[in-house]
Amino acid sequence: MIVASHLSQRYPGGYEAIKDVSFEITAGQMVFLTGHSGAGKTTLVKLIASIERPTGGSLVVNGQNLSALRRSALPYVRRHLGMVFQDRKLLFDRSALDNVMFPLHIAGMPRRDALRRAQAALDKVGLLAREKAMPITLSGGEQQRLAIARAVVNRPTVLLADEPTGNLDPESAAAVFELFADFNRVGVTVVVATHDQDWIARSRPRVLRLDHGRLL
């Protein structure tokens, strides 16, 4: 499902965020990326999400070698990935429902189908009753769950999350992790970058530990 070999990412200026990293994540796995701040978790998530392109090595996601793909092909790769950002990246000029429908608009789905799908996704994260609410009126935990609804509405094969529980109280964080576990149970490959050790201790998932850009 996700195969990295000798992957490296060097930024302009010479800083190497990822150094010669190799791993394989099979379909349906749930994997946690951990490590100190600046260890390269966010960079690795961005590479898998094809938001950044690797400067060295190869990265194959869903059978496609991301480093060899043309730039114009990347949007179609991204549509098969669900992405949850630490800062959520919700759009505050539209309702919760419209936020969730956005990826479906991008994919060109007719409005009626998109509406049904978006409502199902909101229902899944427990926010259907608040579909008309503007994101600014939602709590931090609700906003993150809204972001998860948007990430899964396309029914991705891979769900990626970068510090999804940063700034959340333990209860909200647990709700977010429960959601990831639910999606993983129905076959979605889940990759979460986090340093929430409590949850890792409790659920004992597979852990990839990064240290200064290298895999330990």
Partner 1 sequence: MIAWLTQHRVALVSAFRRLAAMPLNTLLSLLVIGIALTVPGAAYVLLDNLRDLGRNASGVQQISLFMQIDAGKKEVAEIENRLRGLAGSQWRFVARDDALKRLQASEGLADIVASLPRNPLPDAFVVEPSDAGPEALEMLRKEIAGWPKVAHVQLDSAWVKRFDAFLRLGKLVMWLLAGIFGGGLVAVTFNTIRLQVLAQAAEIEVARMIGATDAFIRRPFYYFGALQGALGGLLAAGLVAGALRLLAAPVDELAGLYGGSFALAGPGPLDAAVLAAGGGLLGWLGAQLSVSLSLRKFD
For partner 1, the binding residues (CB under 8 A) are: 49, 51, 72, 75-79, 83, 85, 89, 91-93, 102-103, 105-111, 150, 154
Compute the chain's Rg from CA coordinates: 17
CA neighbor of 51 nearest in space, from 70, 75, 84, 33 = 75
DSSP 71: G
CB of 82 to partner 1, least distance (A): 9
Determine the Cα–Cα distance for residues 97 and 150; give it in Å rounded to an integer: 9
Angle formed at CA 51 by CA 20 and CA 64, multiple of 5 degrees = 70
> What's the CA angle centered on 7, arms 195 and 177, to 5 degrees?
25
Residue nearer to partner 1 on the CB measure, 83 or 175: 83
CA dihedral 97, 101, 119, 173 (to 10 degrees): -70
| C-beta separation of 208 from 215 below 8 A | yes
Minimal CA–CA distance to 178: which of 164, 167, 166?
A: 164
Least Cβ distance, residue 193 to partner 1 (angstroms)? 15
Q: Between 146 and 173, whose beta carbon lies closer to partner 1?
A: 146
Q: Name the minimum Å distance from CB 192 to partner 1.
A: 17
Could you tell me which of 171, 176, 211 has the C-alpha nearest to residue 190?
176
Beta carbon nearer to partner 1, 37 or 72? 72
Closest to partner 1 by CB, 9 or 34: 9
Q: How far is the CB of 33 from partner 1 (least distance, A)?
A: 18
In angstroms, give the least distance from the CB of 54 to partner 1. Answer: 16
Task: Count CB atoms within 10 A of the CB of residue 29.
Answer: 16
Query: C-beta of 110: minimal distance to partner 1 in Å?
Result: 6
Please say which residue, 19 or 54, places its beta carbon nearer to partner 1: 54
Residue among 79 and 214 whose Cβ is closer to partner 1? 79
